Structures are given as C-alpha cells and as structure tokens.
Structure 1
Amino acid sequence: MSTQPTLTTKRLILRPFNYDDCQQVALLAGDKRIADMTANIPHPYQPPMAKTWIDEHTPMYQQHRGVAYAITLCDTGKLIGAVSVPRIEDGYGILGYWLGVHYWGKGYAFEASKTLIEFAKSHFALAGIKVMHLVENQRSKSVILKLNIPYVRNEISGMQGAEREVCVYQRAFKEAE
C-alpha cells in the first residue's frame, strides 16, 4: 500500500487531509456560497461530515480509485480548500475543487488543479481529465479554461435534491505529453 505523497507548488502545499482539518473544512465548506456552487457539498456542513469525508480518502487512494488533497498555503500552512480526483470513469479522472470564499480570485484553484492533474495523470495512468461546473459558476469556468480543458457539452445533473445544468469539459492526454 502506497502512502499518498505531498505535492508542492510555488505558493501551495497539497497534502492529505487529517482529522485536525475537520473544523476548518466545516468552516470553509459550510459557507452557503460554496454549497451553492458545488455538486455535492451540502449546507449546512458540520465537522462530523468532514470527518466522514476524510475517512474515505485513504481507502480511495490505496484502492487506486482517486485522490483528495487539502490545499494549504506554503507560508502559513493554513488550509484554504480542497482539490481532488474523487473518481475515475473510463480512464478519465474527474477533477473537483473548492476554495474558501476569502481565497477566491487569487489563482489558487488553478495552481492546485494543474499540479493535481499532472500527478494523477502519471500515478493513475489516466487517459484524460474531465471536469464540470454549474452553468452559473463563472469562477470555475475561468479555472477550467486556464487549465486548457475543452468544453464538450451541457447536461442536466441531479445534485442535492435538484436538477441542475452543468457545463462539461474533457481533455484526452496524448502519449507524448
């Protein structure tokens, strides 16, 4: 069984989550603006929900089904969000991310996502990457376009008890990449 490695960028450290993160995850993800823009973060969000979510990470990684990382700042170690490939479908990693509201618009989601895609591509031998955002989530659209993942289509997806329209993006990895 391999241990999930820590990944670093110029400004960020991507590390496995631990139980000490539950309070901060609940605080950040508990903001209604986060729930409103994500497919599977409920509102309200409580620390026990964070613990249940964190419990899923190690088996997911060890069984080669995906990976989740805490996004933390290099200079302070402060947890500011999450980036993940929570599942793999037909060789494509499904990218997901969220940041605390105070960290929006600073390029952190792009930086963390780019780093995770490179790691997941080699570690899971992915054929490509797929990512979705709610139609109204223009911030997420901006991140995806910077990642150079082409738009494929819109589709209706059931999430949090409602039918929501999402934009789907997908990029195959070339052998030479």
Structure 2
Amino acid sequence: MIQPNIETRRLILRPFCDNDAPRIAELAGQKIIADMTASVPHPYEPDMAIAWISTHQSAFEQKSAVVYAITLQGDNRIIGAVSFPQLGNGEGTLGYWLGVPFWGNGYAFEAAKGLIDYCKANLGLRVVHAVHLTENTRS
C-alpha cells in the first residue's frame, strides 16, 4: 500500500524520502523545536532523520502510524511534519512540528486538518488526541 499525497488549499502533505534528511536536520534541529515537542531530539543529525524516515512505510502499511512531510504547493522542500505517531482502534495522537520560519501562518492547523480528514476517510480514525507543552501556547 503506497502512502498517497494529501492536498490542502496551500499545502501538499507527502511521504518523506531520504533526500529530506538534511532539511529535517536543519529545521527540526533548532533547539526551540526540541523544546516545543515531545519527541524531537536536540541536536538532530541527518542520519537520525534517515533512521526515522525508514520506519514510516511499514508503520503506514500496518496502520499503526502515519507520518507526512508538510510542503508548500509548488515547492517540494519540507517546512515541517504532521503525523499520528500512534494510531489504532480508531484513535490517534496528533503530532507536528514546523520550521521556525514558517510559524504564524496557520500551516500546522491546515496540515493537521488535512491529515485528520484523510485518516477519518481511509484509516478508520474516530477519536483524535492532541496535547501540547504548557509553554507552547500557540499549539
């Protein structure tokens, strides 16, 4: 089963590829990203990104997780990630991060909505859990 792209008004959510590893390390490697997320380490190296990417396809096939790169329409470079890192029994816990230059534009909300709609229609998602760190007031 191939993970399809998801298109929203301004974004394309697509599977990650190994070529994204340097960009992931660049964007997610900023300390503020690690500080605002539960699972992004700091420092973040490209080989860590490749290891992470290597888990995505099998998790998607098993319907145990789904992870997407967030890109702007017309530009294949990633700006962040949106995912259900845990998915099962109709429930998923939403996760995302955006590179700092892309904050404040509503991209995280748009990407999350696109992923939720896809998972409801195709993966049996019924309940969404979302948490954020107290100091991350924008989330």
TM interval, shorter chain, is over 0.9
Q: Distance in 2 between matches of 1:109 and 1:46?
A: 23
Question: What is the match of residue 134 of structure 2?
Answer: 135
CA RMSD of aligned residues (A): 1.0
Matched residue, 1:92: 91
The answer to whether the 8 Å contact 1:87/1:94 transfers is yes
The CA distance in 2 between the partners of 1:3 and 1:21, in whole Å, is 18
Mapped partners of 2:37, 2:88: distance in 1? 19
Q: Hey, what's the Cα distance between the residues in 2 that align with 1:132 and 1:121? A: 19
Q: Is the 8 A contact 2:63 2:88 kept in 1?
A: no
Tell me how many residue pairs correspond in the alignment. Answer: 139
Q: Which runs of 5+ in 1 are unaligned?
A: 141-177
More strand by share: 1
Q: Deviation string for 1:116-152 (max 9, x for gaps)?
A: 0000112221221101100110111xxxxxxxxxxxx
Kindly indicate whether the alpha-carbon contact (under 8 Å) linking 1:11 and 1:75 is maintained by their aligned counterparts in 2.
Answer: no
Partner of 2:105: 106
Aligned to 2:125: 126
Deviation of the 1:7 alpha carbon: 0.6
What's the counterpart of residue 17 of structure 1? 16
The gaps in structure 2 that reach 5 residues or longer are none
Which gives a bigger RCO, structure 1 or 2 (Cα 8 Å, sep 6+)?
2
The runs of at least 4 aligned residues of structure 1 exceeding 4 Å deviation read none
What is the CA–CA distance in structure 1 between the aligned matches of 2:81 and 2:71, rounded to whole Å? 9
Post-superposition shift, 1:88?
1.9
